[in-house]
Structure 1
Amino acid sequence: MTIVIVRPEDLGESEISRWRELQEENPSLDNPFLSVEFTLAMGRLRDYVRVAVIQDNNTITGFFPYERHSFGIGKPLGGFLTTCHGLISAPELKVDVRSLLRACKISVFDFDHLVPGQPTFASYESDVRPAPVMDLSMGFEAYIDQVKTNSPKNLKTIRYKERKLGREQGELRFEWNSADVETLRTLTSWKSGQYRRTGRVDRFAQPWIVRLLDEMHAEKSETFAGVLTMIYAGDRPVAGHFGLRTATTLVGWFPAYDPEFARYSPGIVHHLRMAEHAAGSGLRQVDMGKGGREYKSWLKSGDLFVAEGRVSRPSPAAAVHWIGRTPVNKIRTIITDHPYLYRFADRVLKGFGRMRSPAQNQSSAPAVKEPWGVG
């Protein structure tokens, strides 16, 4: 077995075809963040992106996309932006993980959304956590029946708010797979406002992330595409989402809404309509990603799983990384596992957001509820 490290732009057509072949043959890899198109886009935008090409007897058996940062610190491709990472290979492939890290010239690899059970990393998994999905494999009606079972009261409330939104603000219209760049700008503007309002870092303040979304929005093929959706009340956009899809799976990425309409819970209204259109377009599931939002518990009709863990080679950089990183990961896991702690942390962050942008806070709707709005 040999491992060759290349930049994404150095992958030839044969390597790209092999990547797609391996992904299509392995159902556990049905996630657009594992697609070669995403790796190629990241490679165009960030200098630290690399791909380990794994070969056995001159046959490519796997690909390992990753980021190599200063002091040999390895990170999953896309880091905090993505909800899935791992080896693109046949399910049974096992690579000596320290040989892989040595070839990649990294001393540590910290993961939190790894495809679970991959033989190369399985013994280094510290936790496996659920990622809720909207299972559309039996059609939208079967899915909505499950939602009724999960929480009939919540569904009844949302349907009431949906009718009220249409009655008071104008007839509702849903747009699936919009190609309009200005619609994307509207969505990211809402999302930036939400980041600031809730005390989070505004991801769209980084130009490369804006460019990444533009590139993903332009991708349109049967097996990989960016999907922009928006719900309108009359002519006014009220809630939307931008995500990536494979031939069968849509992954949630950037949902947002206009806080002026927060009392109607437009994010939840949008999510249900998005699921309906996704099913009508032949998609079999919407991956909502792991996390502590309460609405996911009753919108979901199934779970995928992702693994957390860490692998390293002995080195000073790996030791320093462990001291600075591991306790933070444990604290984050504890908080997201307990609804009370999650709500408390959310309130604290929103308090910081109000202190950072008092003028914006005064102009925002006074009763914005992010979990219901689905931002």
Structure 2
Amino acid sequence: MTVNIVVVRPGDLGASEISRWRELQVADPSLDNPFLSVEFALAMGRLRDYVRVAVIQDGGKIVGFFPYERHNFGIGKPLGGFLTTCHGLISVPGLQLDVRTLLRACKLSVFDFDHLVPGQPTFAPYESDVRPAPVMDLSVGFETYIARVKANSPKNLKTVRYKERKLGREQGEIRFEWYSTDAGTLRTLTNWKSDQYRRTGRVDRFAQPWIVQLLDEMHAERSESFAGVLTMVYAGDRPVAGHFGLRTATTLVGWFPAYDTEFAKYSPGIVHHLHMAEHAAASGLRQVDMGKGGREYKSWLKSGDLFVAEGRVSRPSPAAAVHWLGRTPVNKARTIVTDRPQLYRLADRVLKGFGRMRTPSQNQSGTPVVKEPWGVG
């Protein structure tokens, strides 16, 4: 195998290279995730100077692409970093590179991953853990999916359906909008999400203009193989819960769910997720990937699991050593917390306490503190 690796900015990819990327992605079911799509890489490249793509050739033929971010001191991060739920090599099946040769070509000292497509031969030896990402499996239709949810969690489903009927009686007829193209609706959703971040003590991602622009660009994407999908539940004329995610031809990936806290008692987030799954199935999508993480609602809405890998690979260097000292304790702590529901709930309460201290004016005005597992935000 004679490998040649050329590193470029996403915007420097030619039409034939973009076509090859799509061809490789479609050919491998494990790559069926919009965060691995070339459209996402192109958008990130337009917005962030540190985004690169390693184009991997063997005998003059492109056999893979490795999108990544190169930060100071050669610290490598997955494309999109904390924003995304999947990353890895987009390549021919079974491609095995010497990973340190890849890092050297990319001018990276270290590459830290936590949502990698598992089992890719190049990175598999460096996986420290493989974790489940719950999915709503719609491959056999929505009715079969909801029957499974009913069998696994009859009490939860009954409660949500009751709350949905109550919402309709008290606030207006329930209406679901699939694939909204309205920019104002997207802004309503991101405003809710910003409020949630502040209320729960988390960093407001939408305080960063480039992330807002990224969502705007993804919202404008419309093709059979890649698109941004904005959905919203209404009670009468009032929007109460929504979601913005990305899809391939067959998979919708959860990204930004949020809801109006005024309607929290009706569990609008769960109501929305069930409507979203029904419309996704009707549109030909085969699954909704809810992403790994400790949200209790996922355990009873799911009907299957995908898996993602965590790990780290490095070349000997002072920068890699410093990075290891800073990151390893944090990663271990995160894994311990998300694995244990009691610890997760405790950490969540602590963050919400910080949020209340950081935004006293919002809480004095009566903004309710929402139980996230039922609201789904």
Q: Mapping of 1:351-362 within 5 angstroms?
A: 351-362=353-364
* Distance in 2 separating the partners of 1:22 and 1:249: 16
1:227 equivalenced with 2:237 (yes/no): no
Contact 2:71–2:77 (CA under 8 A) maintained in structure 1: yes
Contact 1:263–1:367 (CA under 8 A) maintained in structure 2: no
In the alignment of these two chains, the number of paired residues is 375
SS in structure 2 opposite 1:83? coil
What is the letter of the counterpart of residue 43 of structure 2?
Answer: A
* Distance in 1 separating the partners of 2:167 and 2:365: 21
Q: Deviations over 1:222-269 (max 9, x none)?
A: 000000000000000000000000000000000000000000000000
1:188 equivalenced with 2:190 (yes/no): yes
Q: Deviations over 1:117-136 (max 9, x none)?
A: 00000000000000000000
Instruction: Pick from 105, 108, 122 the counterpart of residue 107 of structure 2.
Output: 105
Contact 1:107–1:318 (CA under 8 A) maintained in structure 2: yes
Partner in structure 1 of residue 270 of structure 2? 268
Partner in structure 2 of residue 47 of structure 1? 49
Partner in structure 1 of residue 305 of structure 2? 303
1:363, distance to aligned residue in structure 2 (A):
2.4
Partner in structure 1 of residue 178 of structure 2? 176
Moved over 4 A (4+): none
Partner in structure 1 of residue 293 of structure 2? 291
* Distance in 1 separating the partners of 2:212 and 2:76: 24
Contact 2:135–2:303 (CA under 8 A) maintained in structure 1: yes
Partner in structure 1 of residue 344 of structure 2? 342
* Distance in 1 separating the partners of 2:194 and 2:250: 29
SS in structure 1 opposite 2:49? coil
* Distance in 2 separating the partners of 1:322 and 1:91: 30
What is the letter of the counterpart of residue 180 of structure 2?
Answer: S
Partner in structure 1 of residue 330 of structure 2? 328
SS in structure 1 opposite 2:113? strand
Q: Deviations over 1:50-96 (max 9, x none)?
A: 00000000000000000000000000000000000000012210011
Contact 2:21–2:65 (CA under 8 A) maintained in structure 1: yes
Partner in structure 1 of residue 28 of structure 2? 26
Contact 1:262–1:367 (CA under 8 A) maintained in structure 2: no
What is the letter of the counterpart of residue 117 of structure 1?
Answer: G
* Distance in 2 separating the partners of 1:173 and 1:27: 34
Q: Deviations over 1:241-299 (max 9, x none)?
A: 00000000000000000000000000000000000000000000000000000000000
1:364, distance to aligned residue in structure 2 (A):
4.0
SS in structure 1 opposite 2:129? strand
Contact 2:199–2:369 (CA under 8 A) maintained in structure 1: no
SS in structure 2 opposite 1:102? helix
Give me the identity figure in percent: 86
1:361, distance to aligned residue in structure 2 (A):
1.4
What is the letter of the counterpart of residue 17 of structure 1?
Answer: S
Question: What do you get for the CA RMSD once the two structures are aligned?
Answer: 0.6
Contact 1:260–1:364 (CA under 8 A) maintained in structure 2: no
Contact 1:111–1:307 (CA under 8 A) maintained in structure 2: yes
What is the letter of the counterpart of residue 285 of structure 1?
Answer: Q
Contact 1:8–1:49 (CA under 8 A) maintained in structure 2: yes
What is the letter of the counterpart of residue 307 of structure 1?
Answer: A
What is the letter of the counterpart of residue 68 of structure 2?
Answer: Y
* Distance in 2 separating the partners of 1:91 and 1:156: 44
Partner in structure 1 of residue 140 of structure 2? 138
Cα–Cα, structure 1 residues 357 and 310, in superposed 2: closer, same or farther, change >3 Å? same
Contact 1:262–1:365 (CA under 8 A) maintained in structure 2: no
Partner in structure 2 of residue 17 of structure 1? 19
Instruction: Pick from 4, 7, 19 the counterpart of residue 6 of structure 2.
Output: 4
Partner in structure 2 of residue 60 of structure 1? 62
What is the letter of the counterpart of residue 223 of structure 1?
Answer: S
* Distance in 2 separating the partners of 1:4 and 1:139: 43
Q: Normalising to structure 1: TM-score of the pair?
A: 0.99
What is the letter of the counterpart of residue 158 of structure 1?
Answer: V
What is the letter of the counterpart of residue 253 of structure 1?
Answer: W
* Distance in 2 separating the partners of 1:355 and 1:228: 32
Partner in structure 1 of residue 116 of structure 2? 114
What is the letter of the counterpart of residue 179 of structure 2?
Answer: N
* Distance in 2 separating the partners of 1:74 and 1:364: 43
